[in-house]
Amino acid sequence: MSDAAISLLVLGVVVALFVWNKVPVEVVAIGSALLLLFTGVLDLSQVLVGFSDPAVVMIAALFVVSEGLDATGVTTWIGQALAERSRGSTRRLVLLTMLMSAGLTALIGLNGAVAALVPMAVIVAVRQRYPTSRLMMPLAFAGSAGGLLLLTGSPVNVVVSQAAADAGVGAFGLAEFALAGVPLVAGTVLIVLLLGQRLLPDRTSTMLPPDLSAYAASLVQQYSLENVFHLRVEPGSRVLGVDRLDGVDLDAYPGTRVVTVLDGATGRPTSDGVFAVGDRITAVGDPGTVRRLAGDSALRVEAARGSQDVVRSLLTRETGVAEVVVPPRSRFVGEAVRPGRVVADGQIIVLAVQRQGRDRGAGETVLRTGDVLLVEGDWDDLDAAAANRDVLLVDSPDLVRRQTVPLGRRSVEALVVLAAMVLMLATGVVAPAVAALLSAGAMIVLRVVSAEQAYRRISWSTVLLVAGMFPLSTAITVSGAGEMVADVIVGVVGDAGPRALLAGLFLLTAVFGQLISNVATALIVMPIAVSAAEQVGVSARPVLMSVCIAAGAAFLTPVATPANMMVFGPGGYRFGDYWKLGVPLVLLFFVVSVGLVPLIWPF
């Protein structure tokens, strides 16, 4: 059997396995590369070339940049702006969500953008009582169109640009994709606004994420933190010399409790030593009772804060709160705590203790299994507590921070890194992969994300898929299989002209793209497209751009892109829901691919 026949046979097996969807896609991709090695179609260096390809490196680095924007609350800030600007109008909500998805995808890629925006969009839809099924698919589809605005918008853009350079017609620039991307985004938005109500189901998913927007307000109510007073220890105060751990004698002041003590010298929370002049006591309780305590103890009332002030102060850029439950066999069972106690080596403060839903008050509590503690601390310390097996977190501090703290800590650094990456890509001062690597490295060096976060956020499935599919693309090229398929396509279109060639390649790419990854589809079709362009005697530049657009027209099935799958559950969709809105969008992409592309990039 010839190398070309083997390559086409492997291609058929790969497509079949992708459609079967029982074997992980990355296993299929790597397996196809190994099969090409064992059959002698490729040598070892050709099989491993994908792992060193600049496109693969850039794709991995962009996932880290995406994590930096999400972890610092940039996407939360965007979500709050979306809710405010939609002003209760569902039509405006859909429009702004789609534009946001397209714009963010252009910067950080479809998977990262959709992953970051889905929780925000679901919550906004729930608050406005709008069916999530009418928002999730437009979000994903607009992201697919927005992926054609910039080079960074999709791995397909990167590999197509590289293929254009390899074909000798020059790589595509950072914003050159926008010449086709802007009409695609505009057309996608218009089709959804005109036809979405009729073509999208009216359905709400049961798989909705928790809405933590009212997290702080609910804690204030549950733990009776509506009235908070800051009391400063003055000379002559009755508490001077009293052990801070024992706290202030509150027997005569029912309903009052001390939640924190700040050392006057260091300004840090403490429960060690004795009270000294300048210490600040934070107490909660009935305003009249707390003021009586201050008068009796010669404490100066420095500040009195109502419930709204407390809500705003509980979750800040630097500190937050969390509820922890004492599980069975925890080492904390039997330990005595009280509000105001500083634990975890002075990093976390116990604000309140509840047992079976009832507050334990200001006194000491010997912890039992099932007791709930409200604690306050730095976000990093709360994240560390989440990893402690001796407590169970009611809500992840990381999730709370991402949903409730817009433009949180190190968000400025994240935005600066993003701007620098876009500037490097726009000017071409360094190679695109180098720009992405520098940006990802800066996110880690500036402590926007940790190395562990970076590793976790990278979609290794996508990286392995792209790296594993490169050998198959190479085999189709070097074995002559691409030329064979190109001969068939050219034979079919005959003398109909180069636009007919674009139409044939679009149909081939679009059909594959509904069943397998659009990245894998592009890698398969690119060598065929280049060979066909050579046979017809036209530039490979418009042909490759047409393939790029066709690969983005993955709208007919939920398995067409990871983004389509991401919205499947939150939107409450069924397999057959996608094609109804997907068909007019595929037709739009066809018109741009065959009609507009040759006008911008002449044959």
Answer yes or no: is 147 within a domain: yes
pLDDT of residue 288: 92
CB 157 within 8 A of CB 544: no
Answer yes or no: is 462 within a domain: no
pLDDT of residue 141: 95
484-488, 504-508, 584-588: segment of lowest average pLDDT: 484-488
- Let me know whether 178 and 245 are in one domain: no
Candidates 446, 344, 458, 338; CA nearest to 391 is: 344
The DSSP annotation for 458-489 comes to S-HHHHHHHHHHHHHHHHHHHTSHHHHHHHHH
Residue 299 confidence class, pLDDT cut points 50, 70, 90: very high
Q: To the nearest 10°, the Cα dihedral for 345, 351, 354, 360?
A: 100
Cα separation, 593 vs 508, whole angstroms: 13
- Let me know whether 136 and 237 are in one domain: no
Answer yes or no: is 106 within a domain: yes
- Let me know whether 194 and 225 are in one domain: no
- Let me know whether 290 and 194 are in one domain: no
Answer yes or no: is 199 within a domain: yes
Cα separation, 161 vs 158, whole angstroms: 5
| Tokens (6 digits) for 200 | 């999208």
Cα separation, 44 vs 51, whole angstroms: 12
pLDDT of residue 432: 78
Given a cut of 80, whether residue 82 has pLDDT beyond it is no
Given a cut of 70, whether residue 413 has pLDDT beyond it is yes
pLDDT of residue 276: 92
Amino acid at position 17, single letter: L
- Let me know whether 329 and 385 are in one domain: yes
What is the residue-averaged pLDDT of the chain?
85
- Give ∠ CA 323-324-329 in degrees, rounded to 5: 165
pLDDT digits (tens, 9 = 90+) for 167-211: 888 888 888 899 999 999 999 999 999 998 899 998 876 666 667
- Let me know whether 149 and 197 are in one domain: yes
Residue 592 confidence class, pLDDT cut points 50, 70, 90: very high
pLDDT digits (tens, 9 = 90+) for 460-498: 877 887 788 778 878 877 887 766 776 777 777 766 778
pTM comes to 0.72
Sign of the alpha-carbon torsion through 278, 279, 284, 288: negative
Answer yes or no: is 43 within a domain: no
- Let me know whether 381 and 235 are in one domain: yes
Structural domain harbouring 162: 85-210
Answer yes or no: is 307 within a domain: yes
Q: Which residue has the higher pLDDT, 515 or 317?
A: 317
- Let me know whether 283 and 375 are in one domain: yes
pLDDT digits (tens, 9 = 90+) for 538-548: 888 999 999 99
The last residue of one of the domains, among 357, 372, 394, is 394
- Percent of the chain residues past pLDDT 90, beyond the cut: 29
For residue 559, give the H/E element and its range. none
Query: What domain count does the chain have?
Result: 2
Given a cut of 80, whether residue 314 has pLDDT beyond it is yes
Given a cut of 70, whether residue 112 has pLDDT beyond it is no
The last residue of one of the domains, among 368, 394, 420, is 394
Q: To the nearest 10°, the Cα dihedral for 121, 126, 127, 128?
A: 90
Candidates 57, 44, 129; CA nearest to 93 is: 129
Q: What is the widest separation between alpha-carbon atoms in the chain?
A: 101
Paired residues of 353 in beta bridges: 373
CB 279 within 8 A of CB 272: no
| Tokens (6 digits) for 197 | 């109500």
| CATH code for the domain in which residue 237 is found | 3.30.70.1450
pLDDT of residue 414: 92
- Where do runs of H (alpha helix) occur along 327-459? 379-386, 397-404, 411-427, 432-445, 451-457
pLDDT of residue 207: 61
- Let me know whether 302 and 380 are in one domain: yes
Q: Which residue has the higher pLDDT, 81 or 592?
A: 592
- Average pLDDT score over residue span 82-110: 85
- Let me know whether 155 and 223 are in one domain: no
pLDDT of residue 516: 64
- Let me know whether 184 and 252 are in one domain: no
pLDDT of residue 206: 64
Cα separation, 410 vs 377, whole angstroms: 17
The last residue of one of the domains, among 156, 188, 210, is 210
pLDDT of residue 7: 85
CB 486 within 8 A of CB 531: yes
Given a cut of 80, whether residue 242 has pLDDT beyond it is yes
C-alpha separations of 555 from 192, 559, 576 in Å? 13, 9, 11
Q: Which residue has the higher pLDDT, 329 or 107?
A: 329
Answer yes or no: is 426 within a domain: no
- Let me know whether 168 and 267 are in one domain: no
- Select the highest-mean-pLDDT range: 56-60, 70-74, 262-266, 469-473: 262-266
Q: Angle, nearest 10°, between helix axes 155-166 and 54-71? A: 150
Answer yes or no: is 57 within a domain: no
